């Protein structure tokens, strides 16, 4: 088979396995990407994601060929998911509801994609003869956006995600590394131009420069990867985002073509309606068992109940809706300090806006029983906040 026929056959197979885009590159990261990664880690912008700064993993990330001995080609693939059915204004206005990133409305993409990448890799064996191969979905140290760009799948936008001219950015990436020699595609051309919509809209100013996201400020990192007490200065900026953040994608002009809420005919992640804009009270009432049941097979399991309910407390604190106070009070005795600490903060936000100085009695009682230092600190700051606003 000629090169072009081989590629056309691989693409057709990729489509059969549910991938909308399939391009090929060599297992090399450009100097520019490697330098940018090093600078990002040197500045500590990976936050608590310590594994990203580990020397051996960093080296592997910068040298994709190290992921598979004698790797000759990388096939980069994109699997689409249904974009949010709401725009930014609608999502932020729904203050009794939480916003969950669109990719997390259904099944966990790691599982779904890995199975399909393996099936495609088996087809490659049949097509090209037996070769060594490895498949990756997000978990290994692979510079996936850089590889997608050099394979021509799409360019890395100023928000650092990959964009395709027709499909926008509502897709997830996976890779097959192989020792088979496959003709590479031409690299993608960047079409961000003078646009800065993603930088301008970012609620926490996390895109500190074009193509540089400081993870420590990014709501996706804070709500999913970071498992501690969220810095106070960032809480009010998080609004009602309880799992991830899609703001930079929602405003990107290249996503206008991708269609707001236009459900994919065959979204392999099977989005569930109840996860689009979940009711905050129902989320706060989840116990361990109901959390596991509600988010069965979902990527939201990553935060655990403690992380999700922490985020829900922040969303309630930002809502301006005093109707949440009884629900927050009900979790002040939760076994998890992270939840107690953020619940008391949220009560402080709402009580100070609504002149509910009576909440001080509740918090004083909580303080008497509290043993955890971090929660005691939250209680102390909350009491100061309420008293200050009551003066």
CA distance 61 to 30: 11
Q: CB of 299: closest distance to ligand SF4 in angstroms?
A: 15
Token pair 């922040």 is found at 314
* Pick 310 or 340: Cβ nearer ligand SF4: 310
170 binds ligand SF4 (CB under 6 A): no
Question: Segment contacting ligand SF4 (CB under 6 A): 10-18, 173-181, 215-223, 337-345?
Answer: 215-223
Question: Segment contacting ligand SF4 (CB under 6 A): 108-116, 244-252, 335-343, 376-384?
Answer: 244-252
Which string of DSSP letters, residue by residue, matches 103-135? GGSSS-HHHHHHHHHHHHHHHHHHHH-S--EEE
Question: Segment contacting ligand SF4 (CB under 6 A): 50-58, 117-125, 242-250, 357-365?
Answer: 242-250
Residue nearest to ligand SF4 (CB): 157
Cβ atoms of 242 and 283 within 8 Å: the answer is yes
Spatial CA neighbour of 64 closest among 177, 184, 212: 177
213 binds ligand SF4 (CB under 6 A): yes
Task: Report the residue from 197, 264, 281, 381 that binds ligand SF4 according to the rule CB under 6 A.
Answer: 197
Range 235-249 burial, b when 16+ CB lie within 10 A, else e? bebbbbbbbbbbbbb
Which residues participate in catalysis according to the annotation? Answer: 138
- For residue 136, give the H/E element and its range: strand 133-136
Task: Report the residue from 248, 332, 350, 366 that binds ligand SF4 according to the rule CB under 6 A.
Answer: 248
Q: CB of 202: closest distance to ligand SF4 in angstroms?
A: 3
* Pick 159 or 294: Cβ nearer ligand SF4: 159
* Pick 41 or 197: Cβ nearer ligand SF4: 197
Helix (H, G, I), strand (E, B) or coil at 143: coil
Q: What's the token pair of residue 162? A: 């990959």
Tell me the sheet residues that pair with 177.
74, 134
* Pick 91 or 120: Cβ nearer ligand SF4: 91
Work out the widest C-alpha separation in the chain, in whole angstroms. Answer: 81
Task: Report the residue from 53, 115, 212, 253 that binds ligand SF4 according to the rule CB under 6 A.
Answer: 253
* Pick 188 or 252: Cβ nearer ligand SF4: 252
Cβ atoms of 142 and 180 within 8 Å: the answer is no
User: Would you tell me which residues interact with ligand SF4 (CB under 6 A)?
Assistant: 157-159, 163, 192, 195-198, 202-204, 206-207, 213, 218-220, 245, 247-248, 251-254
């Amino acid at each position: 088979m000629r090169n072009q026929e081989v590629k056309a056959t691989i693409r057709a197979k990729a489509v059969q396995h549910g991938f909308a885009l399939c391009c090929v590159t060599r297992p090399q990261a450009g100097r520019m990407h490697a330098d940018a990664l090093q600078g990002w880690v040197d500045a500590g912008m990976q936050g608590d994601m310590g594994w990203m700064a580990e020397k051996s993993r960093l080296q592997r990330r910068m040298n994709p060929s190290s992921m598979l001995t004698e790797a000759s080609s990388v096939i980069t693939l994109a699997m689409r998911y249904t974009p949010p059915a709401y725009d930014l204004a609608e999502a932020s206005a729904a203050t009794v509801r939480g916003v969950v990133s669109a990719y997390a409305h259904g099944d966990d993409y790691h599982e779904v994609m890995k199975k399909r990448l393996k099936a495609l890799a088996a087809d490659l064996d049949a097509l090209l003869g037996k070769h060594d191969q490895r498949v990756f979905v997000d978990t290994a140290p692979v510079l996936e956006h850089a590889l997608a760009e050099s394979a021509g799948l799409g360019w890395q936008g100023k928000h650092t995600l990959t964009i395709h001219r027709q499909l926008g950015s509502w897709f997830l990436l996976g890779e097959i590394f192989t020792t088979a020699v496959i003709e590479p595609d031409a690299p993608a051309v960047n079409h961000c131009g003078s646009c800065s919509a993603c930088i301008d809209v970012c609620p926490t100013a996390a895109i500190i420069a074009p193509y540089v996201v400081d993870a420590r400020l990014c709501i996706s990192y804070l709500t999913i990867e970071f498992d501690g007490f969220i810095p106070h200065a960032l809480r009010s900026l998080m609004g009602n985002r309880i799992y991830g953040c899609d703001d930079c994608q929602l405003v990107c002009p290249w996503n206008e073509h991708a269609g707001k809420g236009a459900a994919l005919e065959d979204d392999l992640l099977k989005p569930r309606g109840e996860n689009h804009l979940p009711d905050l009270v129902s989320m706060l009432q989840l116990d361990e068992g109901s959390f596991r049941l509600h988010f069965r097979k979902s990527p939201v399991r990553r935060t655990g109940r403690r992380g999700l309910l922490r985020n829900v407390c922040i969303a309630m604190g930002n809502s301006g809706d005093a109707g949440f106070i009884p629900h927050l009070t009900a979790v002040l005795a939760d076994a998890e300090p992270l939840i107690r600490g953020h619940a008391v903060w949220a009560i402080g936000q709402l009580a100070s806006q609504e002149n509910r100085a009576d909440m001080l009695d509740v918090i004083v009682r909580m303080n008497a029983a509290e043993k955890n230092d971090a929660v005691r600190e939250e209680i102390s700051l909350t009491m100061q906040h309420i008293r200050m606003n009551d003066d």
